[in-house]
């Protein structure tokens, strides 16, 4: 991920979306956590993104948008809004309605159940880290700490909302389509296999 950030800063690559799944891990953003992450029994990694602690694992689609925000008006709020819109649009083809909740980063179903998290970082106006969409992860993992400082019961997934198993591959296409709609002029996302190797040591 850091390599892509440096390449984007040099203009060696276009804006790029990296899509991966991670092994089970709790990441803690710059706002820290209440100490529950360390008691979760899961590996814990401190990262540069905004936000508190969250879980990543199989069944969750994690997106790292490497985007030049200088070319987008130096507007971080607009960028976060665009990521929220990307997630909302990605869920629409499955008949699942979701929306942001004021004051709560991420995307929610019925304003009560959190289906996706957002936490970004910016270095010299190049974004990194990004979003985590709960497709069909082990939601019990969230109950082992306080994700984003919230009651773990608020966390949901596409599979839970639809009442059926949902492979991550079912969401990759809609996410890519939404990315292309919202980030015009970007190239296709990096191949997930190569992206996983690049980002293995720096989960969002």
Positions marked active-site = 148
Give pairs for 86-89: CB < 8 Å, separation 24+: 86/131, 86/175, 86/178, 86/179, 86/182, 87/115, 87/116, 87/118, 87/131, 87/133, 87/175, 87/178, 89/174, 89/177, 89/178, 89/181, 89/182
Calpha distance 95→53 (Å, rounded): 29
For residue 173, give every residue at least 6 positions away whose Cβ sits within 8 Å of its Cβ, in sequence order, or none.
Answer: none
């Amino acid at each position: 991920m850091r390599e892509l950030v440096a390449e984007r800063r040099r203009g060696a690559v276009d804006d790029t979306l990296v899509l991966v799944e991670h092994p089970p891990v709790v990441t803690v953003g710059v706002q820290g956590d209440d100490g529950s992450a360390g008691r979760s029994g899961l590996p814990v990694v401190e990262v540069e993104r905004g936000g508190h602690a969250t879980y990543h694992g199989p069944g969750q689609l994690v997106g790292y948008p490497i985007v030049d925000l200088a070319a987008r008006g130096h507007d971080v709020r607009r960028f976060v809004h665009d990521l929220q819109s990307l997630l909302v649009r990605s869920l629409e083809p499955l008949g699942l309605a979701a929306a942001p909740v004021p004051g709560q980063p991420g995307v929610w179903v019925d304003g009560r159940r959190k289906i996706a998290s957002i936490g970004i970082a910016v270095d010299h106006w190049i974004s990194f880290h990004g979003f985590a969409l709960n497709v069909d992860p082990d939601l019990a993992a969230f109950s082992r700490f306080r994700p984003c400082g919230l009651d773990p019961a608020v966390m949901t997934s596409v599979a839970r909302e639809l009442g059926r198993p949902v492979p991550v591959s079912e969401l990759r296409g809609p996410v890519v389509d939404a990315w292309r709609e919202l980030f015009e002029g970007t190239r296709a996302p990096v191949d997930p296999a190569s992206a996983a190797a690049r980002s293995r040591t720096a989960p969002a």
